[in-house]
Amino acid sequence: MNDNVTSGNPLISAAKVQGTAVYDTEGGRLGQVEDIMLHKVSGEVAYAVLSFGGVLGIGERFTPLPWSVLTYDPDRGGYVVPLAKERLQNAPHYDRAELTNDDNGWGARVNDFYQVTPSWA
């Protein structure tokens, strides 16, 4: 695979991350990265918003995943998360409008669910 990771450049534009597949550890496709949320002050990536489920956009769920739970796998050309689909179905999820507005507390709920501390905290 000839991508930025295998060619030595560890950087990638957010536009290229959007649409990247997300897999479970067994190789099952869970969904794709819909968006990336950045921490305004630190500039760090806070969350990848996973879109999954639904058919033709109907019933699709948007679940923020702390960036720290994703690992890029160059062989798959996507991200792997150590989470079962069932756990993701129970994870906090939001509609597009909630994710594009100011946080309104959803970040804390996501961190609590995944039991992670944001790197900027």
Token duo for residue 37: 């949320």
Blockwise average pLDDT, block size 10, the chain, 121 residues: 54 88 92 89 89 70 90 94 86 78 75 84 68
Cα–Cα distance measured from residue 17 to residue 35, given in angstroms and rounded to the nearest whole number: 8
pTM above 0.85, yes or no: no
Residue 118 · residue 103 · CB < 8 Å: no
Q: What is the CATH number of domain 14-104?
A: 2.30.30.240
Q: Where are the domains of the chain?
A: 14-104
Cα–Cα distance measured from residue 11 to residue 107, given in angstroms and rounded to the nearest whole number: 25
Looking at residue 101, what is its pLDDT? Answer: 65
Cα–Cα distance measured from residue 117 to residue 56, given in angstroms and rounded to the nearest whole number: 34
Q: Which residue bears the tokens 């756990």? A: 87
